[in-house]
């Protein structure tokens, strides 16, 4: 049973910066569903994409796996077992629960859950890499290097799925979609106090980019085919494919 997110329902004197601790991990499934527009759709699409891109004898990476939602759907939708999923996160609280969740499902796909920094882990022989709302928590100075390493570790024809919260250069559009996201959270039962306190904690930790900046980085990394395939307000997902030749 999913625990209900009421972590910020009462005033907190010293909020500090956001961390993926035990308290967040306990309510994370409820938090993502109520906070991220289109989250279930994105997870479903990751499953569909994984079945298309996963190749026998290769590795699939879920970088910043949290509780393993993307890993679980890939375990269910990849139709052959001659590959391996490697799920990585640097939060001990998330990794502990991710291991528990993955061990409870029936799958023929070998799955390794790793507690590590995704900026240092080796990426090799990959047919698919997933960054599902992860890049926005990586320091700006490390983002291009991470994408370069992912590209180098992908086999020809391999793909990267990158889901993020976006910012927009057009102030009018940026404000509109920010407010629409605010209304989305209100409609899902969050109070203004909860929304404001969470925003305060995230503002120094979650640094968003425009879609154009993401595409520029992916191009610089070497990807030949890049496009936005899903967007709901200021959240969405891009696909980047390493050319087969």
- Reading the block at residue 129, the tokens are 């890499």
Question: Distances in Å between the alpha carbon of 140 and those of 17, 67, 80?
Answer: 17, 24, 37
Binding site members for S-adenosyl-L-methionine: 39, 89-90, 117-118, 132
**List of long-range contacts for 11-14, beta carbons under 8 Å, 24+ apart:** 11/193, 11/197, 12/197
- CA–chain centroid gap for 50, Å, is 15
Burial (CB < 10 A; 0-12, 13-18, 19+), residue 223, is: buried
Contact (CB, 8 A) for 223 and 132: no
Compute φ and ψ for 107, nearest 5 degrees.
-150, 150
Judged by DSSP in three states, 41 sits in: helix
Please give the sequence-ordered ranges of beta strands (E in DSSP) within the chain, or none if there are none: 58-63, 83-89, 111-115, 126-132, 154-165, 225-232, 235-241
Q: How far apart are CA 67 and CA 114, in angstroms?
A: 12
Using alpha carbons, select from 133, 155, 146, 147 the residue that is nearest to residue 202. Answer: 133
Annotated binding site: 39, 89-90, 117-118, 132
């Amino acid at each position: 049973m999913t625990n209900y997110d009421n972590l910020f329902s009462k005033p907190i004197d010293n909020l500090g910066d956001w961390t993926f601790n035990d308290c967040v991990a306990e309510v994370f499934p409820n938090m993502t569903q109520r906070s991220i527009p289109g989250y279930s759709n994105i997870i479903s699409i990751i499953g569909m994409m994984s079945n298309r891109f996963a190749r026998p004898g290769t590795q699939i990476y879920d970088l910043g796996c949290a509780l393993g939602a993307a890993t679980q759907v890939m375990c269910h939708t990849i139709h052959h077992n001659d590959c391996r999923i490697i799920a990585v996160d640097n939060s001990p609280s998330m990794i502990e629960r991710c291991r528990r969740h993955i061990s409870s499902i029936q799958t023929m796909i070998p799955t390794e859950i790793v507690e590590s920094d995704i900026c240092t882990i080796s990426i090799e022989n990959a047919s698919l890499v997933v960054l599902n709302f992860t890049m926005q928590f990586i320091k700006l100075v490390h983002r291009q290097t991470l994408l370069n390493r992912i590209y180098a570790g992908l086999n020809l024809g391999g793909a990267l799925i990158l889901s993020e919260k976006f910012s927009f250069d057009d102030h009018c559009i940026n404000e509109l979609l920010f407010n629409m996201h605010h209304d989305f959270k209100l409609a899902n039962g969050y109070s203004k106090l909860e929304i404001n306190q969470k925003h305060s904690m995230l503002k120094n930790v979650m640094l968003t980019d425009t879609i154009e900046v993401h595409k520029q980085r992916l191009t610089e990394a070497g990807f030949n085919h890049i496009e936005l395939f899903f967007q709901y307000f200021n959240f969405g997902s891009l696909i980047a494919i390493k050319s087969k030749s």
